[in-house]
Amino acid sequence: MLCIASAAAADKPDGRWAVSSEYSIAIVSANGEVHAVTSSGADHKPSWSADGKRFTFFRALRYGSGFEKWRTKIGVVDVDGKGERLLTSGQYPDFNPTWMRDGSNRIVFNRYLGGSTWKNRVYLTTPDANPGQEVLISDPRYAFFEWANGTLKDGRIVVDRIDNIPTRTTYLLTPAPGGRPKYEKLKRPTGNAWHKLSVSPSETKVTYMLDHDGWVHTYEDAVIAWAELDVAERRIVNQRIVTERHTGYIDEYPRWSRDEKFILFDSNRSGQYQVYAFSVEPGAAAVVSPGQYPNAEATPY
């Protein structure tokens, strides 16, 4: 069982992290101070750019009982709250943007199309783009579910596929806008689905929500896990489980601290969503802030 230490007794991450606090993007300092960056009350899942200057996030225009009924826009904003722009039209459910790590300053995001195959495709855009200028980078011939997770400095993107079998596969996707993308299969340490995978800054580890019921839309059965990433050998190995399996609350959205000593995640185990920091050594977690969807400073997923 995960040991939950008091915040005073446990080490805490250095620096700052972003959260969605009351569904606006906010910055949390190590001393616990929370500073709002946006104020819409409908902003989710911030990703902090590698240069530390901006966030990308998505804004909900309409919620629905199924993800295909949501309508959202991908947004960007400076860390001081200036320069806010919305980059997509709001005609689709556009989810979970993050920054490319290759220096291109591009944003990768997921567009959920639903339907009988609950199709999802991956797109690229830029902070200066207008709605409609986003570019499809998933293979357009693929008919099922493909989800972008973290990115690598060489421009590849870690994507998961769930086919109609269903099988779970993970690839490194090399985008080729207007052409045929390249997919390189990653060896996985488990046959279970995972989601919300985050690549560590050194690109030697990953953390993710490990699914148990075969349905990634349900979170109560998922546990937080981490494993070692070998990019050269294209494999993920040595999985470790961080949180216990349960059905009474949700542990979600694990992200690495910049020094990789901590995994930040949020949980409603206390009755309200709070951010926890799991210390990889020695293996305890402590509450470090309010909010959901933590992301460490200048550390894209």
- Residue 127 counted as domain residue: yes
Supply the DSSP string of the chain, one letter for each residue.
--EEE-TTTS---SS-EEEEETTEEEEE-TTS-EEES---S-EEEEEE-TTSSEEEEEEEEE--SSGGG-EEEEEEEETTS-S-EE-S-SSS-EEEEEE-SSSS--EEEEEEEETTTTEEEEEEE-TT--TT--EE-S-TT--SEEEEEEE-TTS-EEEEEE-SS--EEEEEEE--TTSPPEEEEEB-S-SS-EEEEEE-TTSSEEEEEEPSSS-TT--TT-EEEEEEEETTTTEEEEEEE-S---SSS-EEEEEE-TTSSEEEEEE-TTSS-EEEEEETTT-EEEEEEE-EEEEETT---
Amino acid letter, residue 62: R
- Residue 230 counted as domain residue: yes
- Residue 249 counted as domain residue: yes
- Residue 301 counted as domain residue: no
- Residue 81 counted as domain residue: yes
Q: How many domains does the chain have?
A: 1
* pLDDT of res. 216: 79
What is the spatial distance between Cα 54 and Cα 34, in angstroms, rounded to a whole number? 17
Mean residue pLDDT of the chain comes to 92
Average pLDDT over residues 186-203: 95
Please tell me the pTM assigned to this model: 0.94
- Residue 288 counted as domain residue: yes
Q: What is the CATH number of the domain that holds 96?
A: 2.120.10.30
Which residues have CB under 8 Å from 11's CB, separation 6+? 261, 262, 279
- Residue 64 counted as domain residue: yes
Q: Tell me: the pLDDT tens digits for 121-171?
A: 999 999 999 999 999 999 998 888 899 999 999 999 999 998 767 678 999
Q: Tell me: the pLDDT tens digits for 59-86?
A: 999 998 877 889 999 999 999 999 999 9
- Name the nearest CA neighbour of 236 among 282, 196, 199, 262: 199
What is the spatial distance between Cα 161 and Cα 148, in angstroms, rounded to a whole number? 9
What is the spatial distance between Cα 121 and Cα 175, in angstroms, rounded to a whole number? 13
**Domain extent at residue 171:** 3-296
Amino acid letter, residue 184: E
Q: Tokens in use for 147?
A: 């989800």
What percent of the chain shows pLDDT beyond 90?
Answer: 75
* pLDDT of res. 240: 96
Which residues have CB under 8 Å from 288's CB, separation 6+? 7, 12, 13, 28, 32, 264, 275, 276, 277
Q: How many residues does the structure list for the chain? A: 301
- Give residue for tokens 């985008």: 175
- Identify the band that residue 9 occupies on the pLDDT scale cut at 50, 70 and 90: very low
* pLDDT of res. 66: 77
What is the spatial distance between Cα 48 and Cα 124, in angstroms, rounded to a whole number? 16
- Residue 289 counted as domain residue: yes
- Is the N-terminal amide bond of 166 cis, ω within 30° of 0? yes
